Structure 1
Amino acid sequence: MNILVAEDEVMALEEIEYLLQAYKTRHSVYTAQNAFMILELCQKVRPDVLITDIRMPQMDGLELIGALKKNFPDMEAIIISGYDDFSFARKGMQLGVKEYLLKPLKEKALHHAVDKVLFELQEERVKKRKLSDWTLIRELLGQGNDMSEYLVGESCGIVMSFLGNEGNLDVWDPTLQIQVDDIKGLPSETCIVYPDSKRQCVIVPCQSKDAIVHQLGGWARKIHEAILCQRCAVHTTYFIKESGETFHSAYALGLQRIERQMKLDSSTITDGYSKNTNPDLSRTWEKVRVLEIYLSKRELQKVRPEIDKIMGELKILQLTVKELIIFITDMLTALQYNLTKSLSKKIVEIDEIAVSIKKMSSYEELGEWLQQQLFVYVNKLGTNNLDARELVQMLMHQIKHDFEAPDSLQQFAKEHHVSVGYLSRMFKTVLGINFSDYLLEIRMERAMALLGIGTLSLAEVSHRAGYDDPKYFSQLFKKTYGITPSEYGKQKKNSPQIGKKL
């Protein structure tokens, strides 16, 4: 902030400037020997705090405060006087003077007065900024008053950023929110607001469209890079709000642009006007046809590797989420028809495809989801033609992904009409371990993930991991990892990066 000192006595002026040395690291201190010099200086420097002697020639301190308050109503004043005269103090209070200090000036008293005034100014600015930000947010969301000053106006630049994808749980970390000063060259009048927990909107003012159009892209890239520390994908777009255009309409168009550019596994930034080219999906469809063959023959052990190949192709093509939803919908529809010669037995409802993909942040998640949907679908079609190896693949998948997964080999064998002994031997041949050991491993991994949440009771974790007896669960956990579930939970809380394998 700008601190101005008016004192006609040179020695007294130098003393005050000396006592204010501690403030020069964070504020600017200006001095003048009379009121007229201060008035002239104020044409160049907007005053935040005025420290003035009440007795000065030509114009005294109270007159100076009154003159400055007309142009700078938010300015705060501190009066210094050698006269303990209540009439001066009373008139000063009428002018909004915060502090009245007597000569000889003491350092502690001056610092206390200045600190108090600076703190109150900062508090008031924060309050006004929050109110101004809230007014702007309401305009962006279309909830503002028709007479609002934000409704229309000159052109300005808008940089909008969105965390993650539309349906996932990523939100802004308040400690990582950027400030105007963080972006070099960004005008100080720039406003940064958060219409909700996933969106950031930067409003860059300008006198004309031409004055900002060539700089906005550079600022947008700096803003985008600054918020990549949010530890998830960030999607940024930037554009000009035209003169006379409402903030609400500009904001709505920005949201549409971001939705069109979103991708899995990567952050994106566009100028809001670029158009996507049609991707060549011929190689990807070739792999879908191979996947269809494996599904029709029930060669389930080959399904996930082929899905991973498809995911790899899609990742290379860098499809947007919108394009990805269209492709996956077409892919599942084609598989469904070719497997059943019918469009009635859907693998996944069309609406569910879009909702599910919008919650994802990686192709790995998408691959897991696809495998689960296809395995469930094949199971619905019937598993009489599956050999034991294929059933092992299906059993492994159900144990990993289905909360209601079978907890015994006998149960699964009975449901699928196969020999328990043969299925048991094939399970060990495929995985190299017994079914019971595999089930224990999966349950313990699930338990660790649940304990890492930190909000579930031991009984809840035990039940969700598949054990009705918490005491027995605790014994198994300690036998497996060498520590109790409670001890692991404490370690996870103190060190979030602790690995799964203890």
Structure 2
Amino acid sequence: MLFCLIVDDEKWIRNGLVNRVNEHADFSAVSTAHNGQVALEWLQGNYADILITDVRMPNMDGLELVRRINGQFPWMRSILISSYDDFEYAKRGILLGTIDYIVKPVKQSDLEQALQAAAGQLRSIRTNEARSLMLKNYNSAGILLARWQEYPGNQQALSLPLLVIDTFHLLESWVGERVELLLALADEWIAGVVAVRKTEGVFEWMAEEHDRSPVPILDDRRLYFRLVGVYRLELAIAWFNSHDGMAGINSGRRSIVDVKRYIERNYPHKLSLQQIADAVNISKPYLANVFRQETGMTIWNYLTEVRMREAKELLLTTDKRLSDVAEAVGYSDSAHFAKVFKSYYGMNSTELKNRFSRCGAEP
């Protein structure tokens, strides 16, 4: 997700641009301002990836705003809009490194093209920065990389969540305040593991899972980027953990995928093996055997994994009580939930929150 700040002195235009930006799944209009000075004040305590600004505004025009953002918030990309097809404005915008100059009324196709160009630049820049961080810190990552390079199925299943958290803390220590780099850095970490393991398919699979991310859009951008980074690592380790067993399977693989999706959609409810078997149209004995054979875990292990992942997200992103979280992920007995949670993560919910927040702002 990329976050956009929209600046225009006309309210109806600001509102129209908010609606148009939010039509795109990968972009979110997080705030608006009626002039450049207000926009800069907002950015002092908030975060955006992309600026969309009018050129002619009172107090501070769009060109001056872009110039100041280039100096104070160099990670941002800027898009200029104007009611005037003025070559001089466009030329000055180009000199300031803006993505595009769009003449009002703004066409959806022009805005989409500019947003995608901005996204492409940001991806490229962040990938290069993340790659440099990996190269710079590679020697300090040896022990953790060795744990990832082993076949995860040979490790204790309960150690995998802790491996994710340990890895994330290491990556977070590298980026410092540049938390927007965490996703790109997680991908570089995963790419390094892929290269050593000589495997393929993890990034394609994660792309398919992209739209089903449980991470909500949060006002706390630091927490948002941290959760996105953790989720990326969780997806990768889940793929590595099941890849060897899944390779070369055709119809059996399709059945396993269907089972996983059914569980991921219905985990808050009470589930039985017969119910799951009926949902994917295979026999109960075959389901139990093939799932364990192809994934290295039982269906109930996988159900627990999904429930614990969702519980962690709720505990870190909401103020729900433990009993409410337990009920939301399918446990009617909060004491039993607490026991399973501690067994899965190796710590209780309070300890996990403290460990997660140790290297950054409190959730």
TM-score, normalised to structure 1's length?
0.32
Larger relative contact order, structure 1 or 2 (CA cutoff 8 Å, min sep 6): 2
Higher helix fraction (1 or 2)? 2
